[in-house]
């Protein structure tokens, strides 16, 4: 571990406070191919250096960090599960992350099952029989952890890459 002070500790400011000013001509959005280019090249390097499991773990952890930041920025006003679900659905669609649909919300057992169509990470990828949306797993965990104050485990149980055309996630208390 490097002993130098941290350079990349995340907060929303590090990605620029005025994105409009930063890209007056090109605007807010870019191609999802570019997003995937970044993600998959990063996966490539991480996997090469640390192995597949470690690469997945790192991605999942980054997803959790992102999910928590997403919650604070977009979902902090949610007062209950239905309002949280609505906010997630709306913001995922607006931001082009994916089309979220819930299949189960059991507040007694705190078990949730949801699908993400047109997922930013994996829709259209070759059918490889792999579950690759580890970043999404972490992202959803980050949101649920932040909202409930509890520790969730989120698992992708069906993925576009396994032929599903939609990604399905199951969240349970750890």
Per CB under 8 A, contacts with other proteins among 96-135 are: 101-105, 113, 115, 117, 127, 129
- Which of 65, 74, 165, 172 is close enough to bind other proteins by CB under 8 A? 165
If one counts every other C-beta atom within 10 angstroms of the C-beta of residue 19, the result is 10
Q: Which stretch binds other proteins (CB under 8 A): 25-33, 38-46, 65-73, 160-168?
A: 160-168
Q: Which stretch binds other proteins (CB under 8 A): 8-16, 36-44, 69-77, 159-167?
A: 159-167
What separation in angstroms does the CA of 32 have from each of 115, 120, 124?
20, 7, 12
Helix or strand holding residue 85 (H, E): helix 81-94
Query: How is 121-149 classified by DSSP, letter by letter?
Result: TTTT----S----HHHHHHHHHHHHHHHS
Query: How is 4-48 classified by DSSP, letter by letter?
Result: SPPS----GGGG-S-HHHH-TTT-S---HHHHHHHHHHHHHHHHH
Tell the smallest beta-carbon distance from residue 109 to other proteins (Å): 15
Cβ closest to other proteins, residue 42 vs residue 165: 165
Tell the smallest beta-carbon distance from residue 22 to other proteins (Å): 33
Tell the smallest beta-carbon distance from residue 117 to other proteins (Å): 8
Site residues for other proteins per CB under 8 A: 82, 86, 101-105, 113, 115, 117, 127, 129, 158, 162-166, 168
């Amino acid at each position: 571990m490097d002993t130098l002070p941290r350079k990349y500790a995340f907060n929303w400011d590090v990605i620029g406070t005025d994105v409009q000013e930063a890209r007056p001509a090109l605007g807010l959005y870019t191609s999802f191919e570019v997003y995937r280019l970044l993600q998959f090249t990063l996966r490539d390097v991480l996997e090469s250096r640390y192995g597949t499991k470690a690469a997945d773990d790192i991605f999942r952890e980054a997803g959790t960090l992102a999910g928590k930041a997403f919650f604070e920025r977009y979902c902090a006003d949610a007062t209950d599960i239905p309002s949280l679900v609505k906010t997630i659905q709306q913001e995922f669609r607006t931001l082009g992350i994916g089309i979220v649909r819930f299949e189960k919300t059991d507040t007694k057992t705190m078990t949730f099952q949801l699908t993400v169509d047109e997922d930013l990470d994996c829709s259209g990828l070759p059918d490889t029989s792999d579950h690759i949306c580890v970043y999404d797993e972490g992202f959803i965990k980050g949101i649920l952890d932040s909202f409930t104050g509890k520790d969730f485990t989120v698992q992708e149980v069906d993925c576009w890459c396994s032929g599903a055309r939609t990604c399905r996630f199951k969240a349970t208390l750890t």
